[in-house]
Structure 1
Amino acid sequence: MQAIFWTMEEVAARAKQFYELGIRQEVECEENIGQMIVIDAETGEYGIDPSGVESALQLKGKNPLAQLFTIRIGYDVAVVFGGEMERTTK
């Protein structure tokens, strides 16, 4: 696979687009709320697990050059420092 290099903003925008245009409907269910989804910004392939680590390793195993983006399912942010996260209702 040929390497495509994007800025962090481009990776985030592409991954969020994949999420909003199809992945969200597949994965936002009660058992996945709070889990991490890791999305390959080039292919839209994704994996879900509690921390995102296993999914990232699997996706990198398939494509070492994959540009990955992680989202916490059901929340607006993946990580916060201090305070509490609020669940979104979309």
Structure 2
Amino acid sequence: MQSIFWSVEEVAQRAKQFYENGIRQQVEHGDNIGKMIVIDSESGEYGIDKTGVETALKLKQKKPNARLFTMRIGYDVAVSFGGAIERTVE
């Protein structure tokens, strides 16, 4: 099966399966919490760095058509979009 035809949801699902079925136990410790992990959703190969950029570039060098998924170690989300919260007093 070629990953190039996978939807975004399939890429995410496959990468999360790799993470939950083995990678998590190897990487979730004090030194890595908050760092970014980039997972090749086809092979399960991964790398960790502060922003995920270096790892993504290395994985793409090895396999240019790799479908990569990035997440923050120890958190449920990789990126947070925020804004001001207005509080109204009645």
Q: TM-score, normalised by structure 2?
A: 0.87
Aligned position for 2:86: none
Q: CA RMSD in A?
A: 1.3
| Residues in 2 aligned to 1:52 and 1:43: alpha-carbon distance in whole angstroms | 18
**Equivalent position of 2:67 in the other structure:** 67
Q: Identity of paired residues, percent?
A: 71
Give aligned pairs, total. 82
Cα deviations by residue, 1:60-81 (Å, 9 ceiling, x for unpaired): 0000000000010000000001
1:3 is displaced (CA, Å) by 4.2
CA deviation after TM superposition for structure 1 residue 51, in Å: 0.3
Unmatched 5+ stretches in structure 1: 84-90
**Is 1:40–1:67's contact at 8 Å kept on the other side of the alignment?**
yes
Runs of 4+ in 1 over 6 A off after TM superposition: none
Higher relative contact order (CA 8 A, sep 6+): 2
Q: Is the 8 A contact 1:3 1:65 kept in 2?
A: no
Within 2, Cα distance between the matches of 1:82 and 1:7? Answer: 27
**Following the alignment from structure 2 to structure 1, what is the Cα–Cα distance between the partners of residues 49 and 17?**
20
Identify the residue that residue 23 of structure 2 maps to in structure 1. 23
TM-score by length of 1: 0.87
Tell me the distance in 1 between the aligned counterparts of 2:11 and 2:42: 8
1:32 corresponding residue in structure 2: 32
Distance of 2:9 and 2:2 partners within structure 1: 17
